[in-house]
Amino acid sequence: MQNSFEPNFDSTTFSAETYFATQPEPPSLQDDLHDVSDFIDRQIEQGRKVVLVTSGGTTVPLELNVVRFLDNFSAGTRGATSAEYFLKQGYAVIFMHRQFSLQPFSRNYSHSTHPFLDFLEIDAVLPSSSTIDSVYPYSNDPSPSAAQPQITVKMSERAALLSVLRTYKAVQAEGTLHTLTFVTVNDYLYLLRAISKKMNNLGGKAMYYFAAAVSDFFLPRQKMSEHKIQSGKGSLHIEMDQVPKILKPMVSDWAPGGFIVSFKLETDQALLIPKARQALGRYGHQVVIGNDLHHRKHRVVLVSPAKAVPSSAKLGPDGIVTREYEESWIEIDPSLSAPQKEIEEEVVKELVARHDAWINRT
Ligand code: PAZ
């Protein structure tokens, strides 16, 4: 890798088969799969629809003993927020997210935007000796037998917290949320393949909602340096290979019975619709949601194949099916922000309606 990064598009394209034949399975995969299989079996028994929500960015390690890695932009807001609205719509949710990215419910109290310590209060005046020195470290309580002050939630925060907490507890009691984590793009690909194959047992009741930001390039294990890459020898050149396009095997092999929604992130809004159409033509899934980086919280476009595929549908150059598509924009007032109004509520409502219509199609 050079200091001024020059992308190199000549690198190898791995097929999904080659990828899984050459890259190692994550050590936790079988345990993760065991738990998620139990969860899916329970939802099948209960007749629920299940959505797999992916969320957060994947990393690409540059060393086996990893010190440096490339990351993909995503805080996990889209995925965590959407997961809550799917739960509200009666879906069971498998939430597959980047470790430490936002999660449903707790995302409302993120340490960077709404830290929970800031809305707690201690209801007794601390003794004058309670300087930072006297209360630190936390476990060193100077008077463990004395009456402890009560911790309370600020009045202004109570209603919102109660509402989040009630929903969270209800979801826990119903057992409708299952959470799994990934860090690297390799963890992500292995988990996705295993979960999708298992979810295929749900038939049409399975929805896939790919909000995670997944790296397009990776460094195969065989090319990684074992130890930390050393500096001091001038610029660094790393040739990365292309990550396989997993929507292809998703649609044809892993989850042919499911309703698949992918996301397309662009920084040039003019590319959203053409790129979304291109993805639908290539992979043949149900919906691509286009969002541009700077307006993603207020405006998205849902692109899907037109309901009646015209007889003019034909195989175009590169084997892409050429046919007609329809777009619907969802916008919310940009002056409203979470938690007043969240675009994910509208997106999820629309997808649930489309999923139901798709299940009941003749
Ligand atoms: O997680 P977040 O809310 O910060 O960002 C969400 C997003 C922009 C990563 C997501 O909406 C998205 O577009 N995911 C797919 C990215 C891609 O094209 O790979």
CA of 58 relative to ligand 1 center, distance in Å: 11
C-beta of 50 in contact with ligand 1 (< 6 A): no
d(CA 105, CA 241): 37
Do residues 180 and 36 touch, judged by C-beta distance below 8 A? yes
Q: Which of 50-54, 83-87, 232-236, 262-266 has the lowest mean pLDDT?
A: 232-236
| Segment 16-51, tens digit of pLDDT | 999 999 999 999 999 999 999 999 999 999 999 999
Q: What number is the average pLDDT over the span 9-18? A: 74
Q: How much is the pLDDT for 307?
A: 73
C-beta of 288 in contact with ligand 1 (< 6 A): no
Question: How many H-runs (helices) and E-runs (strands) does the chain carry?
Answer: 9, 16
Q: How much is the pLDDT for 112?
A: 87
The CATH number of residue 300's host domain is 3.40.50.10300
Do residues 48 and 205 touch, judged by C-beta distance below 8 A? yes
Q: What is the mean pLDDT of the chain?
A: 90
Question: Quick check: 128 pLDDT over 80?
Answer: no
The tokens for 189 are: 């690909």
CA of 103 relative to ligand 1 center, distance in Å: 15
Question: Quick check: 137 pLDDT over 80?
Answer: no
Question: Quick check: 148 pLDDT over 70?
Answer: yes
Question: Quick check: 13 pLDDT over 80?
Answer: no
319 — pLDDT class (breaks 50, 70, 90): low
| Segment 183-235, tens digit of pLDDT | 999 999 999 999 999 999 999 999 999 999 999 999 999 999 999 999 988 99
- Asked if residue 127 is part of any domain, the answer here is no
Question: Which among 189, 296, 298, 303 is the best mutation to test ligand 1's pocket, defined by most ligand atoms within 8 Å of the CB?
Answer: 296
CA of 32 relative to ligand 1 center, distance in Å: 24
C-beta of 264 in contact with ligand 1 (< 6 A): yes
- Asked if residue 66 is part of any domain, the answer here is yes
CA of 75 relative to ligand 1 center, distance in Å: 8
Question: Which among 74, 97, 209 is the best mutation to test ligand 1's pocket, defined by most ligand atoms within 8 Å of the CB?
Answer: 74
What share of the chain in percent tops pLDDT 90?
Answer: 78
User: What is each CA distance from 358 to 100, 119, 207, 235, 294, in whole angstroms?
Assistant: 34, 45, 11, 53, 32
3 — pLDDT class (breaks 50, 70, 90): very low
State whether the Cα torsion 36-41-42-48 is positive or negative. Answer: positive
d(CA 287, CA 146): 61
Closest atom of ligand 1 relative to the 76 alpha carbon: 1
- Asked if residue 131 is part of any domain, the answer here is no
Q: What number is the average pLDDT over the span 95-100? A: 98
CA of 161 relative to ligand 1 center, distance in Å: 27
Total domains in the chain come to: 1
Domain holding 191, by residue range, is 16-110+148-229+237-360
7 — pLDDT class (breaks 50, 70, 90): very low
Q: How much is the pLDDT for 312?
A: 56
Q: Answer yes or no: is the ipTM higher than 0.95.
A: yes
Question: Quick check: 165 pLDDT over 60?
Answer: yes
Which residues, in sequence order, are bridge partners of residue 290?
264, 301
d(CA 234, CA 249): 41
Question: Which among 78, 267, 337 is the best mutation to test ligand 1's pocket, defined by most ligand atoms within 8 Å of the CB?
Answer: 78
Q: For ligand 1, atom 14, name the residue with the nearest CA.
A: 211
Q: How much is the pLDDT for 20?
A: 97
C-beta of 300 in contact with ligand 1 (< 6 A): no
- Asked if residue 328 is part of any domain, the answer here is yes
| Segment 273-315, tens digit of pLDDT | 999 999 999 999 999 999 999 999 999 999 999 975 555 555 6
Q: For ligand 1, atom 8, name the residue with the nearest CA.
A: 265
Q: How much is the pLDDT for 9?
A: 47
- Print burial letters for 242-251: b (CB count within 10 Å at least 16), e (below 16): ebbbbbbbbb
- Asked if residue 288 is part of any domain, the answer here is yes
2 — pLDDT class (breaks 50, 70, 90): very low
Q: How much is the pLDDT for 93?
A: 98
C-beta of 188 in contact with ligand 1 (< 6 A): no
5 — pLDDT class (breaks 50, 70, 90): very low
Closest atom of ligand 1 relative to the 293 alpha carbon: 8
